[in-house]
Amino acid sequence: MSDLSQALSLALELVVTLDPQMLGIVRLSVLVSGSAVLLAALIGLPLGAVLALSAFPGRGALVVMLNAFMGLPPVVVGLGVYLLLSRAGPLGEAGLLFTPAAMVVAQTLLVLPIVAALSRQVVADLWEEYGEQLRSLGVSGLGRMATLLWDGRFSLLTAVLAGFGRAAAEVGAVMIVGGNIKGVTRTMTTTIALETSKGDLALALGLGLILIALVTGVNAAVFLVGQWARRRMG
């Protein structure tokens, strides 16, 4: 019990004094997950809109797959990216394995199905409401996508931030493709896993607190933006 309280007070000390080693880890985590979510949004939002608005053979199967992949196990994604990027793999030449770039790739793949599937749903629901009006106005296919993505911007922001929460909290994928190298590819989650197994609970707990605060903050932001948007935009 005293071990735990000691660890907790040490953890709080690390947080309050903004320990540079800890800050570096937090910074890398946010950078990696942030870049992954940005990439996933750039691909996933238009992809979701296309899936919602166009009919082509195999569309149904793709939607089912995307929905299923929302729950993809991070370690499996990590393994897949590892095989792709390892020396002997098809993309081994690039030498990306065990770099932050590899972690971004893995997390992008992890988040992409979430962003794409949720934005497909958002755009499809909006189309139910807007479809006749937009066809009446003679809006072209690309115009429809742009219009619905913009009009669904608040719901889509929620989808994107949900993706960020998942990326920031996962450990399996970044562990495998990043390698948890101190000062290079060590994120909050991989550090927590490592330090806990080493029995050094202070840093693990400190990072755990920050991680929870971060995810809570993001969710609070989602909530507030949603409320504001409903009040303001109807």
Partner 1 sequence: MRAPDTILPLELERVGFAVGGRPLLDDITLRLEAGVRTIILGPNGAGKSLLLRLCHGLLAPSDGSVRWHGAMAGEPVRRRQAMVFQRPVLLRRSAVANVRYVLALGGVPWRRRGALAMEALERFGLAALAQRPARVLSGGEQQRLALARAWAAGPDVLFLDEPTSALDPAAALSVEMAVQEFHASGTKIVMTTHDLGQARRLADEVVFLSRGRLVELAPAVEFFKGPASPQARAFLAGELVC
Is residue 146 involved in binding partner 1 (CB under 8 A)?
no
Number of neighbouring beta carbons within 10 Å of residue 97: 21
Nearest distance from C-beta of residue 197 to partner 1, angstroms: 49
Q: Which of 60, 95, 143, 217 binds partner 1 (CB under 8 A)?
A: 143
Stretch binding partner 1 (CB under 8 A), from 2-10, 36-44, 115-123, 137-145 = 137-145
C-alpha–C-alpha distance, residues 182 and 129, integer Å? 52
Nearest distance from C-beta of residue 221 to partner 1, angstroms: 19
Number of neighbouring beta carbons within 10 Å of residue 21: 12
Is residue 197 involved in binding partner 1 (CB under 8 A)?
no
Q: Which is nearer to partner 1, 87 or 231 (by Cβ)?
A: 231
How big is the CA angle at 164 (ends 77 and 18), to the nearest 5 degrees? 110
Q: Which of 23, 64, 137, 142 binds partner 1 (CB under 8 A)?
A: 137
Contact characters 149-178, partner 1, x per CB under 8 A: -xx-x-------------------------
The 3-state DSSP composition of the chain as helix, strand, coil percent (nearest 5) reads 80, 0, 20
Locus of tokens 């690039």? 94
Is residue 17 involved in binding partner 1 (CB under 8 A)?
no
Q: Which of 147, 193, 194, 226 binds partner 1 (CB under 8 A)?
A: 147
Q: Which is nearer to partner 1, 71 or 138 (by Cβ)?
A: 138
C-alpha–C-alpha distance, residues 159 and 40, integer Å? 11
How big is the CA angle at 95 (ends 91 and 101), to the nearest 5 degrees? 90
Q: Which is nearer to partner 1, 55 or 233 (by Cβ)?
A: 233
Count the residues of the shown chain that bind partner 1, applying the rule CB under 8 A.
Answer: 17
Locus of tokens 């101190």? 182
Is residue 142 involved in binding partner 1 (CB under 8 A)?
no
Is residue 59 involved in binding partner 1 (CB under 8 A)?
no
Contact characters 103-132, partner 1, x per CB under 8 A: --------------------------xx-x
How big is the CA angle at 35 (ends 33 and 39), to the nearest 5 degrees? 115
Give the closest residue to 11 by CA, choosing from 204, 183, 196, 198: 204
Q: Which of 2, 5, 17, 133 binds partner 1 (CB under 8 A)?
A: 133
Q: Write the secondary structure of 55-101 as one string of H (helix), E (strand) and C (coil).
A: CCCCHHHHHHHHHHHCCCCHHHHHHHHHHHHCCCCCCHHHCCCCCHH
* Residue ranges in contact with partner 1 by CB under 8 A: 129-130, 132-133, 135-139, 143, 147, 150-151, 153, 232-234
